[in-house]
Chain A
Amino acid sequence: MQWQFSNDAPIYTQLIQQVKVGIVTGAFPPGERLPSVRDLATEAGVNPNTMQRALAELERDGLVYSQRTAGRFVTEDNTMINAAKRSLAERHVKTFLEAMLRLGFRKEEIIALIEQELGEEGTDHAGA
């Protein structure tokens, strides 16, 4: 897993996002045990308390659950993972739209641009 942090948001919220991405993309597969807080913190290069806080938050949301002695596990509930995937996607779209609107694009122009990009991507793939 690649861990990257921006400077403008709290670290624990960024950790929540990144663990979510890990779960959605399968880096942390459903039902699998998560590494220990210390190992995750060492890997991400962050404070163990901050990592603990992020995992506790994820636990509250239900994406991970803990078993008293065995540690923390990723949920096996696929609807939940899909919901997380959807909310991550929505966030990306939202920031994208905000940026586009700030640049002065209108709704139709944005859609046209997206369709054009998607079309080009398609021909790229065909060509390759």
Chain B
Amino acid sequence: MLRKLLKHEFRATGRVMLPMYLILLVTALGSNLAGRGMLDGRSDVLRILGVLIVTAFGLTIFGVLLLSFVLMIQRFYKNLLQDEGYLMFTLPVSVHQHIWSKLIVSVVWFAATILAIIAASLIVAYQGGFLREFFDILRWFFEGLQKLEISEALNGSVYLVEFAVLAFLAMAVFSLQFYAALAAGHSRANHKMVWSVVWFFGIQFALQFLGSLLFITLDRLHIPFPFHLEIQSVAVAIHVGLLLAIGAVILYGAIFYAVTTFFLKKHLNLE
């Protein structure tokens, strides 16, 4: 059933995101053209047009970022907590599947948006010698790789994986904190949106407070660092740091997830 939920969720969001990516592509191509003589050309009309196109590209980047954020919130709110919730919560589907479908789709669009912006920027920068320069950089990069020690290469790849995991988790938890606040706020009989905002800042405050308290206590306890820092100390420290960050993000995510499920399961209160 999760697969079917995902299918319809992508259908619902794709019709908004894909045209936006298309606009991004078009303005990027336009900006590329504008860079080829329009901006520093002699004709005023062309110059103004060039500036407008580049401005449109900038605004589109902002727009596509904003849209993936707004869509993340709007899908959860409108599809589950407004009128459509009557349909969604009476499907033969569990609350967990609902949350996961929303979460996966948001994270996919976040990642797609970042990739689309990178791709669009490359399009804007593309010029005659660009590809050669680009491949030069790549060659330089791979030559560098060959000179690496095995341990360095290994560490590097693991950093990359750790960082990617952290990035994905961070996007998921970013979404989950909004889900938790919306689900909690909408369990109230009245002023659901106001309560959602209150919940949002309430959760932030509580977690900051508890986090600080934890650090202070740990500091007071003078627990010795459980690693023997020797030759590879810096490399290990980065791993430890990334893994701790991943752990912390998972912990936060678990709390937000638990809050969301609790309210959707036990205190659903559709208008």
Find out whether A and B make contact in their complex, taking CB atoms under 8 A apart as touching: no
Q: Which residues of B contact A (CB under 8 A)?
A: none
Q: Which residues of A contact B (CB under 8 A)?
A: none
